[in-house]
Amino acid sequence: MDRIRIVGGNELKGIIPISGAKNAALPLMIASLLTSDTLTLENVPHLADVELLLRILGNHGVDVSVNGRREHQDGSYSRTIHFTCRTVADTTAPYELVSKMRASFWVIGPLLAREGKARVSLPGGCAIGTRPVDLFIEGLQALGAEMEIDGGYINATAPKGGLIGATYNFPKVSVGATHVMMMAASLARGTTVIGNAAREPEVVDLANCLNAMGAKISGAGTSTITIEGVSSLSGARHRVLPDRIETGTYAMAVAMTGGDVVLQGTDASLLDTALEAIRRAGAEVTETDGGIRVVGYGSEIRPVDIVTEPFPGFPTDLQAQFMGLMTRANGVSHVTETIFENRFMHVQELARLGARITLSGQTARIEGTSRLRGAPVMATDLRASVSLVIAGLAAEGETMVSRVYHLDRGFERLEEKLTRCGAIVERISD
């Protein structure tokens, strides 16, 4: 199993290209099930989750071809992937596939809308919380679907003639459920109004792609989304938006280690709240042509309190990284997690590096220290693992991060990008 070795103490200087967003790419790929034409996605990142979803979609009959691979001097590359589902080969998403990645559950929406039926395994729990599927079920039921849970599977059936437009207000904001209902409603008869919809940029990106395919969606990016159903969708070409979580992660790494880095190919408007928190911590963050410049000072980090919230609030996917930054602040800060009930597993690993963190319910109190020391640590989930990398970059000596397969799920060529900016980071394969 691979590990990542980090020798801390170096400032980061240079250019880091930002990849396409994993959280946008996955629902866009699933949208290919809605049409028999070809959906072409540009700027698709090379990640373990993307590769797994390619295999899952293949199980449903999606033909995939990859081109547009282009090597850059900076070591990154983008891919253009063509998805064609002439006919749906299988409307069942088995447990052995869904259990490996929760987002694969989202195929229930397109399968139900296009084929009138779907049998999808319940995804179960995961490392950062249970993430129940109640909202998915209730949203699809509002469109007329009959849902039955049997043997760990959801058997979904659309009414004769297809799904029917309806008004449905989510009792709780859910990005995944908003994705699913938006895809399903695109092929429903009549108009669907989704209330308390997720406002994340990835939702807007999916809506833009669906509209390019012929859907009629308005209001994406607000709490009310309206979808006028159409009889069929066509193919389209769409570019995956930049990864705001990767953007924020590298910005925090620069703020923590010091240095001067341009994050290339990203958009500050995707993460205004997080960038403002980084500024309050003492780093300089400015927009440039085609990116963001971050200048950090390492030893002059100020304490900042944050609370995770749905967009446009502080992203839960940047919580662990920001906590890593706050371990070096000159004072006490607080991080409150409101999205997931079990997203502090990185705390005990940060403590191995010398961090001083105490937990009280869903709030972490971080007493900053001027010195972190390298140590062996273990990644517990995707975002927690990269928080350990950030802390390791600022720690004295060597940090060895194990179970880095978590990192490969969401960060494209992380070691290469950091190394090109002066960090000492290497992957060790046992």
Q: How many domains does the chain have?
A: 2
What pLDDT is stored for residue 109 in this prediction? 98
Residues 302 and 189 in one domain: no
Residues 177 and 281 in one domain: no
pLDDT in tens, the chain (430 residues): 789 999 999 999 999 999 999 999 999 999 999 999 999 999 999 999 999 999 999 999 999 999 855 544 444 567 999 999 999 999 999 999 888 888 899 999 999 999 999 999 988 544 434 456 899 999 999 999 999 999 989 999 999 999 999 999 999 999 999 999 999 999 999 999 999 999 999 999 999 999 999 999 999 999 999 999 999 999 999 999 999 999 999 999 999 999 999 999 999 999 999 999 999 999 999 999 989 999 999 888 999 999 999 999 999 999 999 999 999 999 999 999 998 777 788 999 999 999 999 999 999 999 999 999 999 999 888 778 899 999 999 999 999 999 888 888 889 999 999 999 999 999 998 7
Residues 285 and 205 in one domain: no
Considering Cα of 387, then 389, then 392, then 398, what sign does the dihedral take?
A: positive
Q: How many CB atoms lie within 10 A of CB 219?
A: 16
Residues 145 and 164 in one domain: yes
- Residue 135 annotated as lining a ligand binding site: yes
Q: What is the set of active-site residues?
A: 126
Residues 297 and 322 in one domain: yes
What pLDDT is stored for residue 290 in this prediction? 87
Residues 33 and 136 in one domain: yes
Instruction: Single out the residue of 165, 171, 120 nearest to residue 147, CA to CA.
Output: 120
Q: Which helix (H) or strand (E) holds 261?
A: strand 259-264
Residues 307 and 181 in one domain: no
What pLDDT is stored for residue 197 in this prediction? 98
Which range of residues forms the domain containing residue 174? 22-239
Q: Where among 239, 260, 295 does a domain terminate?
A: 239
- Residue 22 annotated as lining a ligand binding site: yes
The DSSP code sequence of 330-349 is: SSEEEEE--S-TT--THHHH
Helix axes 272-280, 319-326, angle to 10 degrees: 10
Residues 7 and 154 in one domain: no
Q: Mark residue 330 as left, alpha or beta (left: phi above 0; alpha: psi -120 to 50; beta: remaining).
A: beta
Q: Where among 189, 213, 239 does a domain terminate?
A: 239
- Residue 254 annotated as lining a ligand binding site: no
CA 116/CA 168 separation, integer angstroms: 20
- Residue 134 annotated as lining a ligand binding site: yes
Structure tokens at 344: 């502090």
Q: Where among 213, 239, 265 does a domain terminate?
A: 239
- Residue 267 annotated as lining a ligand binding site: no
- Residue 305 annotated as lining a ligand binding site: no
CA 65/CA 74 separation, integer angstroms: 25
* CATH value at residue 43: 3.65.10.10
Residues 276 and 305 in one domain: yes
Residues 182 and 214 in one domain: yes
Residues 310 and 406 in one domain: yes
- Residue 317 annotated as lining a ligand binding site: yes
Residues 161 and 246 in one domain: no
Considering Cα of 184, then 190, then 194, then 198, what sign does the dihedral take?
A: positive
**Taking the complete model, does pTM exceed 0.85, yes or no?**
yes
- Residue 133 annotated as lining a ligand binding site: yes
Rg (CA), the chain: 22
- Residue 339 annotated as lining a ligand binding site: yes
